[in-house]
């Protein structure tokens, strides 16, 4: 059984992994992005949001490249982060290249035994989504 200090250390480690993943959304270079992936993502990871599902590094890298074509310099900043038992939830803001706020959302993630992300699910209002009256 893990003690409280061990659990706190694991949660801190998972936050570091999460922030590396968040950083991968900001870089424009595919080579740099893949280098970051090697430090935080399992090769068979699955990313899901209201617009897509990407399986593995190649599909995720293509989705991130499309994101950068639409929003040059776009990136995310974690506002809150909570984790336990190799799972996490984070609230975040999406910012433009000049730092202007573009949106916000919440992500749920799961980590493997090596503390690599295996599943990342983003929740946000999709562009053009109608709001019920």
Domain residues for the domain of 32 are: 4-123
Residue 75 lies in a domain: yes
* 133, part of any domain: no
Mean pLDDT of the chain: 90
Q: What is the CATH number of the domain that holds 108?
A: 3.10.450.50
Count structural domains, the chain.
1
Work out the percent of the chain whose per-residue pLDDT is above 70.
86
The predicted pLDDT at position 28 comes to 85
pLDDT the model gives residue 52:
96
Q: Is the pTM of this model over 0.75?
A: yes
Question: CB under 8 Å to 33, separation ≥6 — which residues?
Answer: 24, 27, 61, 64
Residue 69 belongs to what H/E stretch?
A: helix 56-70
Interval 87-109: pLDDT, tens: 999 999 999 999 999 999 999 99
């Amino acid at each position: 059984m893990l003690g409280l200090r061990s659990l706190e250390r694991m949660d801190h480690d998972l936050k570091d992994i999460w922030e590396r993943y968040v950083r991968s959304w900001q870089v424009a270079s595919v080579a740099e992005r893949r280098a970051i992936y090697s430090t935080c993502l399992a090769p068979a990871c699955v990313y899901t949001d209201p617009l897509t599902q990407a399986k593995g590094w190649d599909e995720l890298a293509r989705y991130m490249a499309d994101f950068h074509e639409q929003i040059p310099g776009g990136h995310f900043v974690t506002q809150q982060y909570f984790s336990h038992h190799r799972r996490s939830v984070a609230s975040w803001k999406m910012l433009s290249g000049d730092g202007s706020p573009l949106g916000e959302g919440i992500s749920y993630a799961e980590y493997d035994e090596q503390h690599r992300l295996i599943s990342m699910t983003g929740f946000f209002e999709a562009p053009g989504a109608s709001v019920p009256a």
